[in-house]
Structures are given as structure tokens and as C-alpha cells.
């Protein structure tokens, strides 16, 4: 059903985004990767994915904090691959600090990349999906779209915003064959999570091992990190026909965190 669909995944040269891209590639989608990175590494990644899954793999290095570059990326995707069927908004950054010490530039960057970028991609992609009367928009939010944690004011605000954006757009396009959902992973041991561990340790005055044990996994009753593969599998399900009646949903995948 997804064979030869075109899927654009933002923030997809590593971590959760790459896992989702691999999942859609395995399902036969042509894919567009996006994120900053070493050009040689990205070229090798594109070639490996294309060879492994026998698909087309494009890349766009659009800066997700810039609306003009995002709009150009959507236009290039249409021009290069003939359309855009599946949009996965995954790009995100993080910074950890008390709110009264939170750097303004970090706040602005997190809101721009974690929230505003999803608005800009959706705004540009919807006309293409409406023409086909089919589309899937999957926003990778976070358990922090549902609950808060200290020292993450910008991230929590952005992810709560993604949840609201998801519901609003889902209602607007509900009769046009387009679904819009958000998935809310708990802690996945990606580079983004690994990078915030030292800052959290400093903010809380504890060791990095204690951060993993008493801060990260303490929130998840399973006491296990969510895997990239699990997030990719949920994304694939939401893109499939069996999920055609699921829209406007904010779906946790976080080991029971938000059940508490």
C-alpha cells in the first residue's frame, strides 16, 4: 500500500528520524532525508539506503528554523520525486536550564525547530496532499507533549504546541483523505537524549549514571528505553490503510510514563 509513496522525514540522518526513514524505505517508499551533516556521510547514507531497499533517496539540507528553506524543500521534493504523500515532522533540539536562566537564543531556536517548523512543513505540504485527496502527517512529539519536567520549559512548551497543532490540522482536513497524528515517545537513547544527560546532571547536581536511572528511566514504569524500531513501527502503522480512521490522536509510546 505504501509502495512508491513519497515520504519526507525531517531530522532523519540519525536517531529516531533515520529509524523512521528506514522503516518507510523498507515498505517501498521513496524518501527524502533532511538534517545537517557531513556531505560525504550523507552521500554514503543515501547510497546505502537506495541499494538496500531499491528506492529513490533524496536529501535536502533545509534549515528547519527558516520558513523559506522549508518551503523550498517541499517544492523540491515535489519536483524531484513527483509529489509528497507522507510527512514526518521529527526535527528537534533540546536545552536544559532553569527557566529564569534559560538563554533567549535557545528558547527561540527550540520553538522554531520543534514547533514552528512543523507548521511550515504542513502549510507547504497540504496543497499537494489535497490534490491527491490522500496524505499522512505524523508529528513526532514527545511524552513532554502530555506532561512536564523541570528545566525543559522551551521543549515542553513546543511539544505541547505540536499536540495542539496536530489536533487542529486533523479537524481541518478530516474529509480530504488526510490524517494527522502525533506520536509521543518516552526516552529513546538517541544522540539528542545522550547530549542532554550532562546538562541534566549539572542542573540537578547528580552523576550522569544517576540521571539515566533516577531521572530518565524513573519516569517510565517499564524501566526500559523506547527503541527507535518501535517508534518506526508505530509511524508505519499510522501511514497504512488500517489507520485511516485514526486522526487527531496524540499517541504515547513511553513505557507507561503518562499513565501515572
Query: Does residue 75 register a pLDDT over 80?
Result: yes
Q: Give the pLDDT confidence of 15-39 residue by residue, as tens digits.
A: 999 999 999 999 999 999 999 899 9
Q: What is the mean pLDDT of residues 44-53?
A: 98
Does residue 205 sit within a domain? yes
- What's the chain's average pLDDT? 96
Domain match, 10 and 68 both: yes
Domain match, 139 and 177 both: yes
Please give the biggest Cα pair distance in the chain: 54
Does residue 77 sit within a domain? yes
Q: Return the pLDDT at 189.
A: 82
Does residue 1 sit within a domain? no
Catalytic residue among 59, 151, 155, 187: 155
Domain match, 134 and 101 both: yes
Q: Residue 193 sits in which domain range?
A: 187-225
Domain match, 37 and 98 both: yes
Does residue 170 sit within a domain? yes
Q: Return the pLDDT at 190.
A: 82
Domain match, 202 and 159 both: no
Q: Return the pLDDT at 214.
A: 87
Domain match, 129 and 160 both: yes
Residues forming a β-bridge with 135: 178
Domain match, 23 and 117 both: yes
* 85 vs 66: CA distance, rounded Å: 22
Q: Give the pLDDT confidence of 76-134 residue by residue, as tens digits.
A: 999 999 999 999 999 999 999 999 999 999 999 999 999 999 999 999 999 999 999 99
* 117 vs 120: CA distance, rounded Å: 5
Q: Give the pLDDT confidence of 198-253 residue by residue, as tens digits.
A: 988 998 999 998 988 888 898 899 988 999 999 999 999 999 999 999 999 999 99
Per the structure, the count of domains in the chain is: 2
Domain match, 97 and 191 both: no
Does residue 172 sit within a domain? yes
Reference 229, options 34, 49, 26; nearest CA is 26
Does residue 94 sit within a domain? yes
Give the CATH number for residue 77.
3.40.50.720
* 10 vs 73: CA distance, rounded Å: 10
Does residue 258 sit within a domain? no
Domain match, 100 and 22 both: yes
Q: Return the pLDDT at 213.
A: 85
Catalytic, 187? Answer: no
Q: Give the pLDDT confidence of 120-138 residue by residue, as tens digits.
A: 999 999 999 999 999 999 9
Using an 8 Å Cβ cutoff, are 33 and 46 in contact? yes
Does residue 259 sit within a domain? no
Domain match, 215 and 233 both: no
Domain match, 218 and 249 both: no
Band (63; pLDDT cuts 50, 70, 90): very high
Domain match, 138 and 182 both: yes
Reference 170, options 122, 208, 210, 216; nearest CA is 122
Amino acid at each position: 500500500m505504501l509502495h512508491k509513496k513519497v515520504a519526507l522525514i525531517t531530522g532523519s540522518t540519525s536517531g529516531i528520524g533515520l529509524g523512521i526513514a528506514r522503516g518507510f524505505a523498507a515498505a517501498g517508499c521513496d524518501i527524502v532525508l533532511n538534517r545537517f551533516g557531513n556531505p560525504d556521510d550523507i552521500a554514503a547514507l543515501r547510497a546505502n539506503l537506495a541499494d538496500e531497499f531499491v528506492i529513490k533517496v533524496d536529501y535536502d539540507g533545509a534549515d528547519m528554523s527558516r520558513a523559506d528553506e522549508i518551503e523550498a524543500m517541499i517544492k523540491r521534493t515535489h519536483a524531484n520525486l513527483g509529489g509528497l504523500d507522507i510527512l514526518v515532522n521529527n526535527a528537534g533540539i533540546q536545552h536544559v536550564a532553569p527557566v529564569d536562566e534559560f538563554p533567549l537564543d535557545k528558547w527561540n531556536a527550540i520553538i522554531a525547530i520543534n514547533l514552528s517548523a512543523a507548521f511550515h512543513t504542513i502549510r507547504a505540504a497540504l496543497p499537494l496532499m489535497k490534490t491527491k485527496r490522500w496524505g499522512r502527517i505524523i508529528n513526532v512529539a514527545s511524552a513532554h507533549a502530555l506532561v512536564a519536567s523541570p528545566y525543559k520549559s522551551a521543549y515542553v512548551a513546543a511539544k505541547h504546541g505540536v499536540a495542539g497543532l496536530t489536533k487542529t490540522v486533523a479537524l481541518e482536513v478530516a474529509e480530504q483523505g488526510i490524517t494527522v497524528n502525533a506520536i509521543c515517545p518516552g526516552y529513546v537513547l538517541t544522540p539528542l537524549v545522550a547530549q542532554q544527560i550532562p546538562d541534566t546532571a549539572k542542573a540537578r547536581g547528580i552523576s550522569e549514571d544517576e540521571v539515566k536511572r533516577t531521572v530518565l528511566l524513573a519516569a517510565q514504569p517499564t524501566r526500559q528505553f523506547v527503541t527507535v524500531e518501535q517508534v518506526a513501527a508505530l509511524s508505519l502503522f499510522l501511514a497504512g490503510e488500517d489507520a485511516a480512521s485514526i486522526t487527531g490522536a496524540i499517541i504515547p509510546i513511553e513505557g507507561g510514563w503518562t499513565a501515572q
